[in-house]
Amino acid sequence: MKWESGRRSDNVEDSRGSTVTRGAVGGGAVIMALVAALLGAPEGTVREILNGGGSAPTTQQGPRGPTDPAEDKAADFVKAVVGYTEDGWASIFQAHGKRYQPPKVRLFRDQVQSACGLNSAAVGPFYCPPDSRVYLDLSFFDELDRRFGAPGDFAQAYVVAHEVGHHVQNLLGLSDAVHRKRSQVSETESNRLSVMTELQADCYAGVWGHYVKSKDILDPGDVEEGLRAAAAIGDDTLQRKARGRVAPESFTHGSSEQRVRWFNQGFATGKMESCDTFKSGI
């Protein structure tokens, strides 16, 4: 991928030197816990009130100190890819008579506080609709290579583009609609809606891939890198590796075949309209 010549986005927040701390338990929480105990609430409930009653976790920027050159290069790569997503989606939205509002992308190390709660790097990259941010620990790129067997810069770009795809869903009002629906249905149906959502984000990543291909940004083999990444993180592939068996009813992101198919769908057409996973029945 010819990313070195791309412009760097101003919407990437580098908080790799930050630490997340939680304040002390407030007096109000202590009173609530005492009342709960007197009313016969289980010990776990009392403990939950106390644990949640402190001041909100805060992020403190510490001294950066020496940085890893390889990680710094990865951060620079993300800024370039985000710049390409901004240009691509601005063009796509304009063609539909809309104005694209880009997300913020926050780089972190180990754990991060977002409007979706406190998350560790173990959850992988994620998008938080309430604060319109993509969160990424750069170590995931190494995981993508070593653990998932999906190396290459476009495999990494696909990860970023997928999360930005969730931002597109948020702008279109789909995130709120799916969230409301999932709260009203069974766990199995909720998982199915989650799969539809994730596959649409894959398709949107493909739509963006179509855009960068039209700008002659891709190198030979880039698309294959993206497809390999999509296949590597399919629910069936991950479950087979972790458990030795597959439970389709518990899928939340889609099978490897589905993820590859929907990325290809977006990449082949370059059209948002081709990504309606909610009507297709998958």
What is the structure's pLDDT at 68?
Answer: 84
What are 81's two structure tokens?
């890819």
Residue 28 or residue 93, greater confidence:
93
Residue 1 maps to a domain: no
Confidence band, pLDDT 50/70/90 cuts, at residue 184 = very high
What is the structure's pLDDT at 47?
Answer: 43
Q: What is the pTM of this model?
A: 0.83
For 91, the 3-state DSSP assignment is helix
Residues 29 and 164 grouped into a single domain: no
Give the total number of structural domains in the chain. 2
Residues 267 and 136 grouped into a single domain: yes
Residue 3 maps to a domain: no
Instruction: Please determine, for residue 246, whether its predicted confidence score (pLDDT) is greater than 50.
Output: yes
Residue 167 maps to a domain: yes
Q: What is the mean pLDDT of residues 177-186?
A: 93
Residues 52 and 68 grouped into a single domain: no
Residue 140 maps to a domain: yes
Residue 267 maps to a domain: yes
Q: What is the mean pLDDT of residues 141-164?
A: 95
Question: Of 19-33, 64-78, 118-132, 222-236, which gets the smallest average pLDDT?
Answer: 19-33
Residue 7 maps to a domain: no
Q: What does the CA dihedral 13, 15, 16, 18 come to, rounded to 10 degrees?
A: 180
- Please state, in angstroms and rounded to a whole number, the distance separating the CA atoms of residues 197 and 174: 9
Encode pLDDT of 199-232 as tens digits.
999 999 999 999 999 999 999 999 999 999 999 9
Question: Of 5-14, 51-60, 105-114, 144-153, which gets the smallest average pLDDT?
Answer: 51-60
Residues 34 and 93 grouped into a single domain: no
Residue 200 maps to a domain: yes
Instruction: Please determine, for residue 13, whether its predicted confidence score (pLDDT) is greater than 60.
Output: yes
Residues 133 and 244 grouped into a single domain: yes
Residues 83 and 164 grouped into a single domain: yes
Residues 125 and 217 grouped into a single domain: yes
Residue 196 maps to a domain: yes
Encode pLDDT of 43-100 as tens digits.
444 344 444 444 445 555 554 555 789 999 999 999 999 999 999 999 999 999 999 9
Instruction: Please determine, for residue 42, whether its predicted confidence score (pLDDT) is greater than 70.
Output: no
Instruction: Please determine, for residue 36, whether its predicted confidence score (pLDDT) is greater than 60.
Output: no
Mean pLDDT of the chain: 86
Residues 85 and 208 grouped into a single domain: yes
For 60, the 3-state DSSP assignment is strand
- CB burial of 222-237 (b: ≥16 within 10 Å; e: otherwise) equals bbebbbbbbbbbbbbb
Give the up-direction half-sphere exposure of residue 220: CA atoms within 13 A in the CB hemisphere: 0
What is the structure's pLDDT at 48?
Answer: 44
Residues 246 and 195 grouped into a single domain: yes
What is the structure's pLDDT at 113?
Answer: 95
Residues 114 and 253 grouped into a single domain: yes
Q: What is the mean pLDDT of residues 93-121?
A: 95
Structural domain range at position 137: 12-17+63-280
What is the structure's pLDDT at 67?
Answer: 72
Residues 243 and 148 grouped into a single domain: yes
Residues 75 and 44 grouped into a single domain: no
What is the structure's pLDDT at 277?
Answer: 95
What is the structure's pLDDT at 34?
Answer: 41
